[in-house]
Amino acid sequence: MNERRVLLVDDDDTLRRVLHKEIEGFGYQVLSLPDAEGVQDAIKQSMPDVALIDLRLPGMGGMELLELLRGIDEDLPVVMLTGHGSVPEAVQAIRLGAYDFLAKPASLDQIEQVLMRACERRELGTQVRGLKRLAEGRETEGALGTQAILGQSSRIEELRQQIARVAPGDAAVLIHGENGTGKELVARALHAASPRSHQALVVVHCGAIPDGLVASELFGHERGAFTGAHRRRAGLFEAAQGGTLFLDEIGELPLSVQPALLRALQFGEIRPVGSERTRRVDVRVISATHRDLESEIEDGSFREDLFYRLSPIILEVPALRERREDVALLARHFLQRDSAGEAHASDIDEEALRALEGLDWPGNVRELENAIVRLRTLGHSARIRAADVHALVARRRRLKTEALPTLCLEDLERLAVLAAMERHGQNKPAAASELGIALKTLYNKLARYC
């Protein structure tokens, strides 16, 4: 279990020293201060899991400190310590967001119980946010186990067996496969079949986050860490606490963030942006890519040590052309799933299925799914026939391919030069500047091409 942190603020030196020692004895890290003056600097280094503060403090009072802490992190549980005569004020503090209050002299049992409940509430809130992220994320029908990975081919059956063997463990998994093969389905099946299935699965597409925000999204940030960071924010690692973090398209992760991810994998520690302290996390990391990461290691765009941390287990998801015997099953599945209650094609004949099986499907299962939508919507009858496949899928692909010109390097250079000249109204110096060539070189090329 991660060591929880308690912020203790009380101006009574004797009581503060005693409480500091006793709370440490409960198993917490304790930061104790005599007043509110040093609180902001302290929490910039490490946000506590719970605050225990005296209502009566010199300088900034306990009520103001409560508002300050709630402004920085509205989920931080704050417990007020108060004398018997200040109970009404403590009740008012609860109305303002305090978690609870303890009347002095509180017993050690009371203090231990309230701290434990407060920390559990904070952890529950983190889990709820993780589940909320999951609910707001992409939901894939039937993604609760290997049954979601449709197919009867030997390649898919082998993949299901691998998932069943790998899921119960805690080792990192790298899923490799072309775009559209269903890598996220594999990740969801791994999570669903694991002991972590009752916790959140947090899905992150590494290429969808701006480079400058990746570290903050993954590891969180402290208040004031950068412009716009008005309060502490937990990252996706903390949102996935106890569960699984799926890093889709890991090959797009910026090189600058890779050392921090390596540390998280190696030591189970993260450091929020703007913090000087690390936090412990218990997360299984599953990643996926369509890239050849070993080639990217050679050209310096991906760290070799991170690759080996991510890939003690590698699962290969086969391309659709490598399991053509699954095309008919998938086509029928997509057709039945999308046809309920609609006046479109709801059946497909065997000849049409054979025609679909004969295609290469460079976009894999995703392309087949889109093709079925097109066939059932634009087909001329309630039953999809081979003629529809040839007209709406195969012919469309041929036209796209034939539309691509076959050009040599000299042709491409000529087109680039003429296009630059046209964009700049035949202004040669401007065109040469855009092309990154000397003006004399441009004159030579124009003499050759015009």
User: What pTM, to 2 d.p., does this model score?
Assistant: 0.61
CA-CA-CA-CA torsion for 261, 266, 268, 273, nearest 10 degrees?
-30
Asked whether the predicted pLDDT for residue 56 surpasses 80, the reply is yes
Residue 24 token pair: 């440490």
Lowest-confidence segment of 84-88, 113-117, 146-150 by average pLDDT: 84-88
Report the alpha-carbon distance of residue 355 to residue 361 in Å, rounded: 12
Read off the tokens for 192: 């669903």
Per-residue pLDDT tens digits for 293-346: 998 998 898 999 999 999 999 999 999 999 999 999 999 998 888 765 555 657
Which pLDDT value is given to residue 142?
38
Half-sphere exposure of 126 (CA within 13 A, CB side): 24
Percent of the chain with pLDDT over 90: 35
Q: Give the SS3 label for residue 177.
A: coil
Mean pLDDT over all residues of the chain? 83
Helix (H, G, I), strand (E, B) or coil at 90: helix
- As a whole number of angstroms, the distance between CA 357 and CA 331 comes to 10
Long-range contacts formed by 339-346: CB under 8 A, 24+ apart: 339/376, 344/376, 344/377, 344/379, 344/382, 345/375, 345/376, 345/377, 345/379, 345/381, 345/382, 345/383, 345/384, 346/376, 346/382
Helical spans, DSSP H, in 96-192: 108-136, 154-166, 183-192
Using CA atoms, how far apart are residues 100 and 118, in angstroms rounded to an integer?
9
- Helix, strand, coil abundance in the chain, percent, nearest 5: 50, 15, 35
Judged on CB neighbours under 10 Å (0-12, 13-18, 19+), 98 is: buried
- Is the pLDDT at 214 greater than 80, yes or no? yes
Instruction: Please state, in angstroms and rounded to a whole number, the distance separating the CA atoms of residues 392 and 72.
Output: 57
| 358 CB-side CA count, 13 A | 11
pLDDT beyond 80 at 184: yes
Predicted local distance difference test score (pLDDT) of residue 136? 47
Domains located in the chain, CATH noted: 5-126 (3.40.50.2300), 146-316 (3.40.50.300), 325-403 (1.10.8.60), 409-449 (1.10.10)
- For 378-406, what is each residue's pLDDT tens digit? 877 778 998 888 888 876 555 444 444 55
pLDDT in tens, 101-147: 888 888 888 898 899 888 877 877 665 555 555 444 434 333 445 55
The one-character DSSP state at 104 is S
Beta-carbon contacts of residue 311 (< 8 Å; ≥ 6 apart): 172, 174, 293
SS3 382: coil
Question: What is the C-alpha to C-alpha distance for residues 356 and 337, in angstroms, rounded to an integer?
Answer: 18
Most confident of 2-16, 314-328, 405-419: 314-328
Question: Residue 253: what pLDDT?
Answer: 92
> What pLDDT, in 10s, does the model give residues 342-378?
556 578 999 999 999 999 898 899 899 988 988 888 8
What separation in angstroms does the CA of 286 have from each of 237, 252, 265, 278, 290?
Answer: 12, 15, 11, 22, 14
Q: Return the pLDDT at 373.
A: 86
CA distance 202 to 188: 10
Cα separation of the two ends of the chain: 74
Average pLDDT of the residues in 216-231: 81
How far apart CA 288 and CA 342 sit, in angstroms, is 36
